[in-house]
Amino acid sequence: MDWKNILRSHIERKVDLADEQFDYIASFFKPMSFRKKDKLIRPGEPVHFEYFVLNGCLSTYVINDQQKTHILQFAMRTWWASDYNALYNQGQASLHVDCVSDAEVLCLANEDREKLCRELHSMESFFRWRSNGGYVSLQRRILSLLNNDAQSRYEELMQQYPELYNLVPKHLIAAYLGVSRETLSRFQSH
């Protein structure tokens, strides 16, 4: 499936678009290819884009002063990723975004999203819907961190996204769950 179809059917999960409307929208998205470990956003640098994943997997994370990594999000096909705090507020990135595997993405500049939202009420509606969905799923993650032990968080994640098991190295899954790689490894054994 070509990227315009992937994008169009993604947006049309929420709003219907005429062909000319979609072509106009698509004109703001720039397809790009990246290799495993390529960096899309580095802390300290300004953030101009958000990324829509066509293929492969990105991760969004921080590295703390003790050099420990904490992963906010893995982004796979039809997911979005950026340092939204920096993007929305024209600030410097505090997050890393890079490629867990080779990846194809669409880049959308912050000002182009805002322009689309201004010009097309349906796009404003789409992006509100996307943000609402993200909010609800972060709430779920917080409750899971507060309520469940590491093993059940791991089982929950593997059950919801089984493809992560082979796509993402275990120490990154540990960094997402908030558990050490050693402890995660002991879960698998039995």
Partner DNA sequence: CAACGATTGTGATCTAGATCACCTATACTA
Partner DNA sequence: TAGTATAGGTGATCTAGATCACAATCGTTG
User: How does strand 80-81 pair with strand 30-34?
Assistant: unpaired
Q: Which does 142 bind (CB under 5 to 8 A by kind): a second copy, DNA, none?
A: a second copy
Nearer to DNA, 80 or 176 (CB): 176
From the CB of 37, what's the least distance to DNA, in Å?
8
Residue pair 52/29 in contact by the 8 Å Cβ criterion: yes
Distance CA 172, CA 175 (A): 5
From the CB of 185, what's the least distance to DNA, in Å?
3
Q: Which of the ranges 24-32, 129-137, 153-161, 181-189 carries the binding residues for a second copy, by CB under 8 A?
A: 129-137
Distance CA 147, CA 162 (A): 22
Residue pair 176/157 in contact by the 8 Å Cβ criterion: yes
The residue count of the chain comes to 190
Residue pair 96/41 in contact by the 8 Å Cβ criterion: yes
Distance CA 60, CA 18 (A): 34
Residues 126-165 that bind DNA (CB under 7 A): 149-151
Q: Which of the ranges 2-10, 21-29, 133-141, 180-188 carries the binding residues for a second copy, by CB under 8 A?
A: 133-141
From the CB of 39, what's the least distance to DNA, in Å?
14
Distance CA 23, CA 114 (A): 17
Looking at residue 180, the DSSP 8-state letter turns out to be: -
Q: Which does 63 bind (CB under 5 to 8 A by kind): DNA, a second copy, none?
A: none
Using CB under 8 A as the binding rule, whether residue 125 contacts a second copy is answered as yes
What values do phi and psi take at 26, rounded to 5? -60, -25
Residue pair 150/183 in contact by the 8 Å Cβ criterion: yes
Q: Which of the ranges 19-27, 46-54, 67-75, 181-189 carries the binding residues for a second copy, by CB under 8 A?
A: 67-75
Which one among 68, 115, 121, 128 touches DNA, defined by CB under 7 A?
68
Residues at the contact surface with DNA, assessed by CB under 7 A = 66, 68, 149-151, 169-171, 178-186, 188-189
Residues at the contact surface with a second copy, assessed by CB under 8 A = 62, 64, 68, 70, 72, 84-85, 88, 117, 121, 124-125, 127-128, 131-132, 134-136, 138-143, 145-147, 178
